[in-house]
Amino acid sequence: MAGKLWVFDLDNTIRFCGSDYEKPAQDAAKYIHSLLKNDLGKKAPSTEEIITVAREIDRKRVNEINPKTGTPFLYCMDRFPGSQVETFHQLCQKYNINPGEAADSEIAGRLLKIGLRAFSEELFRSNIAPRAKEVLKFLRDQDDTLVIYTKGDNHVQNLKLKVLKKIGVIPQDTNACVQENKHADTFRHLALLYPSRKRFVVGDTYKADIQPALSLNLGYKSILIPAENWEEPGQLEKTLAEVDRQNCRIFKDLGQIVDQYREL
C-alpha cells in the first residue's frame, strides 16, 4: 500500500512565529514614543499604547486593500513592517504633528529597518515546535510524502523554508507551496497528484489550514494542533466547538503523530 500524503502548515505548526514580531514591534514603538515626546512631552502616548495601536492596524490590515497593489494586504511586508510606519502617521495625525517630508521619509526608513528584524535567518532557526524534526523524519522513513503548504509573503516564507531545511528540521527534498492564502483547489490538486494515498492535513488554525481541505470531500483527514491565534484572540473555544470531529483529530503537539501513527 502506498504511503500517506501529509500536507503540513508551517507557521505555528512546525515553527512558532508569534514572538517574531514582538521585539521589533516593541523597538519600533519605543522609537515612535521618543519622536512624539519631542513634540508632546509628557502627553506623548506610552510605548504600550503605541504597541496597542500598531497591533490593531496590523490585524485590520490583513483584509484591507493595499493601495499599492489594489488587493488585500494579507501577509505581505507592506502589512508588517509597513504597519509600523502607518502607526507613526496615524499618531502624527491624531496629535497634529507635521514632521516634514524629509524627516518623515527618514523615520519611515528607520521603522521599516527595525521591523525587518522580524524576518532574519537567525530568528528563523529558533522556536521550532517540539519534536518537529523527529516527526517529519519519521514520516519520511515510513515512505510517506510530505508537502509544506503555507500562506504568507513569498520571500519571507521561502527564507524560512530554506533555513529549516538547512538546519535539518524539514527534509531537504520536501515539496513546498507558498500562497497568499490557502485554497481548496491546491488541496484538490494534491489529491489528484497522489490518488492512492491516504491524505492528512496538519495545522494550527482550523479555518485557514483544515477547512479548505475538508470542504472538498476528497477523503482528507486532518489533525488540528490549536494555538491561540493573534488574528482572533479568544476564539479558540468557539473554533473547537465547530470542528468536524469525524474528520479532524485534535492533538496537543506534533509528537502525537508519531505516537499514534498506527491508528491513523
Q: Contacts with Mg ion in 67-106 (CB under 5 A)?
A: none
CA distances from 95 to 45, 56, 91, 165 (A): 10, 18, 6, 47
CB of 59 to Mg ion, least distance (A): 16
Which of 12, 87, 157, 229 is close enough to bind Mg ion by CB under 5 A? 12
Size of the site for Mg ion (CB under 5 A): 4
Q: Which three cell numbers stand for residue 258?
A: 508519531
CB of 9 to Mg ion, least distance (A): 4
CB of 227 to Mg ion, least distance (A): 7
Minimum CB distance to Mg ion smaller for 58 or for 204: 204
CB of 63 to Mg ion, least distance (A): 17
- Closest CA relative to residue 256, chosen from 13, 81, 48, 55: 13
Q: Contacts with Mg ion in 107-146 (CB under 5 A)?
A: none
Minimum CB distance to Mg ion smaller for 63 or for 93: 63
The CB density around residue 44, as the number of other CB atoms within 10 Å, is: 20
CB of 92 to Mg ion, least distance (A): 34
The CB density around residue 74, as the number of other CB atoms within 10 Å, is: 19
Minimum CB distance to Mg ion smaller for 12 or for 84: 12
The stretch near Mg ion (CB under 5 A) out of 4-12, 137-145, 162-170, 251-259 is 4-12
Q: Is 9 in the site for Mg ion (CB under 5 A)?
A: yes
Q: Sign of torsion, CA 215 218 221 227?
A: negative
Minimum CB distance to Mg ion smaller for 19 or for 142: 19
Adjacency order of strands within the sheet including 220-224: 175-179, 145-151, 5-8, 199-203, 220-224, 248-250
Whether the CB-CB separation of 201 and 13 falls below 8 Å is answered with no
Whether the CB-CB separation of 215 and 207 falls below 8 Å is answered with no
Minimum CB distance to Mg ion smaller for 115 or for 226: 226
Q: Contacts with Mg ion in 173-212 (CB under 5 A)?
A: 204
Minimum CB distance to Mg ion smaller for 7 or for 32: 7
Residue ranges with strand state E in 58-137 = 65-66, 71-72
Which of 4, 6, 8, 11 is close enough to bind Mg ion by CB under 5 A? 11
Show Cβ contacts of residue 145 under 8 Å, excluding neighbours closer than 6 positions.
Answer: 3, 4, 5, 6, 194, 197
Minimum CB distance to Mg ion smaller for 107 or for 161: 161
Minimum CB distance to Mg ion smaller for 19 or for 105: 19
CB of 11 to Mg ion, least distance (A): 4
Exposed, middle or buried: residue 71 (CB in 10 Å: 0-12, 13-18, 19+)? exposed
Backbone torsions φ then ψ of 257, nearest 5 degrees:
-65, -40
Q: Is 20 in the site for Mg ion (CB under 5 A)?
A: no
CB of 14 to Mg ion, least distance (A): 9
CA distances from 197 to 20, 106, 191, 200 (A): 36, 54, 8, 9
Contact residues toward Mg ion (CB under 5 A) are 9, 11-12, 204
